[in-house]
Chain A
Amino acid sequence: MNFSTLRRLALTGALACAAVAALSPMAPAFANDVVLRVSAIPDEAPTELQRKFAPLGKYLEAQTGMKVVFTPVTDYAAVVESLATRKIDLAWLGGFTFVQAKIRTQGTTAGTAIPIAQREEDSKFTSKFITADPSIKVLADLKGKTFAFGAPSSTSGSLMPRFFLQQAGLNPEKDFKNVAFSGAHDATVAFVAAGKAEAGVLNASVWDKLVEAKKVDTDKVRVFATTPTYFDYNWTVRGDLDPALVKKLTDAFLKLDPANPEHKEILALQRAARFIPTKKENYDGIEKAAHAAGLLK
Chain B
Amino acid sequence: MSRIDRDPAARSRLIGALAMLVILWPLFQAAEVKPGVLFDPGNLKVIGNFLAGFLPPETGNEFLGYLAKATLETLAIATAGMALAFLIAVPMGYLASGAGREKATLNPVTRSLLTILRGIPELVWALIFVRVFGLGPAAGVLALGLTYGGMLAKVYAEILESVDAAPARALRHNGADRPLAILYGLIPQASKELASYTVYRWECAIRASVVMGFVGAGGLGQLMDQAMKMLNGGEAATILLAFMVLVFAADGFSGWLRRALDTPPANRASPFGWRSGGLGLALVVSIVASFSYLEIGLKSLLTLGPAFDSVVVEAARSIGEFVAGFFPPDLSAEWLAKVGKGIWETLAISVVGTLLAAVAGLLLALPKWRAPFSFLLNTLRSVPELVWATITALAVGLGPFAGALALALHTAGVLGRLYAEALDNAPPAPGQALRLAGAPGGFAFLYGTLPGAAPQLIAYTLYRWEMNIRMAAILGFVGAGGLGQLLYFELSLFHHAQASTVIIAMLLLSIAVDQASAWLRRAMR
Contact = CB atoms under 8 A, between A and B. Distances in A.
Interface of A: 1-7, 9-18, 20-22, 24-32, 45-47, 71, 73-78, 80-82, 84-87, 100, 104, 108-109, 146, 148, 151-153, 177-178, 180-184, 186-187, 190-191, 194-197, 295-297
Contacts of A191: 231
A83 B96 CA distance: 41
Nearest to B132: A81
Given A26-B311, A78-B216, A195-B394, A87 B86 contact: no
B119 interface: no
Given A18-B87, A46-B226, A181 B188 contact: no
A78 B135 contact: yes
12 contacts: A3-B261, A3-B276, A4-B188, A5-B271, A6-B195, A6-B283, A13-B288, A78-B131, A81-B322, A85-B315, A187-B230, A196-B231
A10 B283 contact: yes
A78 B130 contact: yes
Contacts of A1: 187-188, 191, 265, 271
Interface of B: 42-43, 46, 49-50, 83-84, 86-87, 90, 130-132, 134-135, 183, 187-188, 191-192, 194-195, 215-216, 222, 225-226, 229-231, 261, 265, 271-273, 275-276, 279-281, 283-284, 287-288, 291, 296-299, 302-308, 311, 314-315, 318, 322, 393-394, 397-399, 479, 481, 485, 488-489, 491-495
A75 B216 contact: yes
B256 to A, nearest CB: 15
A24 B283 contact: no
B488 A152 contact: yes
Contacts of B132: 81
Contacts of B299: 24-29
B283 A9 contact: yes
Given A13-B283, A85-B303, A194-B46, A183 B276 contact: no
Contacts of A2: 265, 271, 273, 275-276
B287 to A, nearest CB: 5
A60 B102 CA distance: 70
Nearest to A186: B230
Contacts of A24: 297-299
A26 B310 CA distance: 13
A187 B398 CA distance: 14
A100 B192 CA distance: 53
A76 B492 CA distance: 7
B305 A17 contact: no
A190 B232 CA distance: 9
A109 B299 CA distance: 19
Contact of B308 (A16, A18, A26, A177): A26
A133 B489 CA distance: 26
Contacts of A5: 271-272, 276, 280
